[in-house]
Amino acid sequence: MSVFGKLFGGGGKGGKGPSAQEAIQKLRETEEMLTKKQEFLEKKIDQELITAKKNGTKNKRAALQALKRKKRYEKQLTQIDGTLSTIEFQREALENANTNTEVLKNMGFAAKAMKAAHENMDIDKVDDLMQDITEQQELAQEISDAISKPVGFGDEFDEPGCSDCLLEQEELDKNLLEIGGTENVPLPNVPSTSLPSRPAKKEDEDEHDMEDLQRWAMEAN
């Protein structure tokens, strides 16, 4: 079994492989473990460096042993850095693959839903429906225009024969202009004799009242 197989808990050939989420979790745990190992090695390197400096003049053998251990720790630290880079790359690749899987899964789900929604739709029926809608909209617009159009006194109202009336009016205006442009026509002379004067209305009423009085007096006798 490979190292990654041990890390991920993989079984034999017939065993089911881990899911992407499980693998990502395992890689994160490994990163945390290696990070702690790094911190431990860095402390050990600092300690060995202090020991080497302390024994540099007093005990050269102890100082050399400390420097050798320091180099081993540094080598291990370099190896861990490389391992962490590889694990980080693999983890990011798995996360991207997992994201793509979820995206494709959701897109497939949406495609099935769209197919189910369009299952009972016929493009010819849709075209007919849209044509009916367009016709009804045009009819509604015509009705609105007819309702809002002024009747009787509108500027656009055209009564039958109105054009003939306009022509007659233009002809009359033309004749009046021609008459106005000709010489003055002599008017008839005013009669010199005065008209007979009409009796005043007041005198007629007084005469009528006198007749009524005479008639009443005769009836009284």
pLDDT for residue 27: 93
pLDDT tens per residue across span 138-180: 999 989 888 888 766 555 545 555 566 677 777 777 766 665 5
Separation CA 70–CA 53 (nearest Å): 12
Closest Cα to residue 98, out of 18, 33, 31, 11? 18
Rg (CA), the chain: 61
Instruction: Give φ, ψ of 41 to 5 degrees.
Output: -65, -40
Hey, where are the domains in the chain?
31-110
pLDDT for residue 91: 93
What's the fold here for domain 31-110? Helix Hairpins (1.10.287)
Res 80 pLDDT > 90: yes
Contact present, 66 and 55 (Cβ < 8 Å)? yes
Q: Six-digit token pair at 211?
A: 């007749």
pLDDT tens per residue across span 44-66: 999 999 998 888 778 888 889 99
Contact present, 86 and 30 (Cβ < 8 Å)? no
pLDDT tens per residue across span 93-139: 999 998 998 899 999 999 999 888 888 888 888 888 899 899 999 99
